[in-house]
Each structure stands twice: as C-alpha cells, then as structure tokens.
Amino acid sequence: MAQVLIVYHTRTGGSRQMAEAAFAAARAEGNARLLSAEKAQPEDVLAADGYLFCGPENLAALSGAMKEFFDRCYYPVLGQIEGRPYAQMICAGSDGQGAARQLARIATGWRLKEVQPPLIVCTFAQTQDEISAEKVIGAADLTRCAALGAALGAGLAMGVF
C-alpha cells in the first residue's frame, strides 16, 4: 500500500497542529506516517511513495531544523525518488512565500512532482512575544490541512499521482 510521509518541524506548535491534522486525514485514506524533521532519515524518505512537508517560516526561510532534515537526506536519496508527489504546508507570521520557494527548490532538485500549490497558514505573529508564543491554529485552517492530507493520501491510494 502506498505510503505518505509527513515530515514537520515546529518550535511553537503551529506546524505540529497542521501536520497532525493532515496526518489524521491521510491515515483515514490509506497508509501514512508522521515524523518530526529531527527524527526523519533517508530510509524513511525512500520508503514513502509521496510526501507532505510542513514547517514554519523563520526570517523569510525554512526553519533550521527543517532545512537540516533536507541537508541530511538530500544526497542519500538523490536519484531514487524522482517523480514522486509532494505538497507543502508553511506556518508563517506574515506571508510564508520565502520558505515555500526554498522548499520548492529543494523538491525540484529531488525532481519531485508538486501536486498542489503551497498551503500557507498565516498566524500574523509580528512582535517578539507573538512570534515566540505557542500557536493555536484555527479550525478553518486545520480543515484546509486535513483536506490536503486526505487528498494526498487518497491520490496515492488510488494511483492518481
């Protein structure tokens, strides 16, 4: 059975909530696995048939831990996962576009196939206190995350991608 691998990083809980919503919905459609960026390894990437990457935007870029996941896994899987589907979710305080572009460039290097434009959830955290505070992602945004997880899981299970 095709497997969706959801890799996420969170510092203040927003990305974790988004990834968990997507995971629950993807698991309802088929085989899904949820791993933190710190724990995900090249063998996890190789074992999956599709990917959902979820992380926060920090200073207009992917968080360091999410980038370190890609640094650690990039070359060991290069040339072995071409054409597999992927999507991404970004938890951002403002626009999220910088992190989304960075992640898309990495996925392009792996020659993954984007199956949906980036889903960006904006928390509007702008002050130091707001940025460092635990996040609570609203129901409407969690529903969008779940829909993405379900679509990716169902698409893999049906062989659409």
When pLDDT is averaged across residues 108-115 and rounded to a whole number, the result is 98
In terms of DSSP bridges, do strands 119-122 and 50-58 run parallel, antiparallel, or are they unpaired? unpaired
Written as six digits, the tokens of 44 are: 């996890």
Q: How confident is the model at residue 110 (pLDDT cuts 50, 70, 90)?
A: very high
Q: Looking at the whole model, is its pTM more than 0.95?
A: yes
For 130-156, how does the pLDDT look when each residue is reduced to its tens digit (9 = 90+)?
999 999 999 999 999 999 999 999 999
Q: How confident is the model at residue 1 (pLDDT cuts 50, 70, 90)?
A: confident
What percent of the chain shows pLDDT beyond 90?
99
- What pLDDT sits at residue 99? 98
Residue 143: CB atoms within 10 A of its CB come to 12
For 41-67, how does the pLDDT look when each residue is reduced to its tens digit (9 = 90+)?
999 999 999 999 999 999 999 999 999
CA-based torsion, 154, 140, 104, 110: positive or negative: negative
